[in-house]
């Protein structure tokens, strides 16, 4: 009886293996498709992705920032003030240390004309250039140059001794 039971079990195991592996298997092909259009996904996902990103964004731009784009007129005014201060500083430097003249020679072709006037010295007086008020006078300390920005109230004083 034990032998018959063993043969019976082997036959059932063989039948299960034959029919179990021979049946049609149903499976699905798995494919990855990106959702983000930047990585090859569908372009119709873009509004959804953008709205999701904006919903998660906690950063709010500060509307009270101090940076403001200058207009053309403001840039021109700033450039003019910079040129004025450059000329003033060059004149102060020349008065203190003497002017430098350079001579040279060379060969070449070309044409050109030019004229120039001015001595490079600072004359006492009060000059107003836009928002800058420049006051130049002699004192017992030397030549005094006061530069005042009338908009902000900032003031700078330069004293050239022995002038």
Residue-level pLDDT at 111:
45
pLDDT in tens, 3-16: 767 788 888 888 87
pLDDT in tens, 127-161: 887 778 888 888 898 888 888 888 888 888 888 77
**Is 50 exceeded by the pLDDT of residue 116?**
no
Domain ranges for the chain, please list them: 80-93+121-163
* 3-state SS string for the chain: CHHHHHHHHHHHHHHHHHHHHHCCCCCCCCCCCCCCHHHCCCHHHHHHHHHHHHHHCCCCCCCCCCCCCCCHHHHHHHHHHHHHHHHHHHHHHHHHHCCCCCCCCCCCCCCCCCCCCCCCCCCCEEEEECCEEEEEEEECCEEEEEEEECCCCCEEEEEEECC
Q: What's the pTM value of the predicted model, to 2 decimals?
A: 0.38
């Amino acid at each position: 009886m034990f032998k018959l039971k063993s043969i019976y079990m082997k036959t059932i195991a063989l039948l299960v293996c034959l029919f179990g592996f021979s049946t049609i298997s149903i499976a699905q092909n798995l494919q990855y498709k990106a959702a983000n259009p930047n990585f090859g996904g569908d372009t119709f996902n873009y509004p959804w992705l953008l709205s999701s990103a904006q919903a998660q964004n906690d950063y709010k731009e500060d509307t009270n920032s101090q940076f403001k784009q200058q207009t053309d007129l403001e840039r021109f005014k700033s450039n003019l003030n910079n040129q004025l201060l450059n000329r003033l500083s060059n004149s102060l430097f020349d008065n203190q240390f003497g002017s430098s003249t350079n001579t040279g020679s060379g060969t070449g072709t070309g044409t050109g004309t030019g004229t120039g006037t001015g001595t490079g010295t600072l004359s006492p007086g009060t000059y107003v250039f836009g928002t800058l008020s420049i006051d130049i006078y002699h004192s017992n300390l030397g030549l005094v140059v006061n530069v005042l920005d009338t908009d902000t109230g900032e003031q700078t004083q330069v004293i050239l001794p022995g002038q």
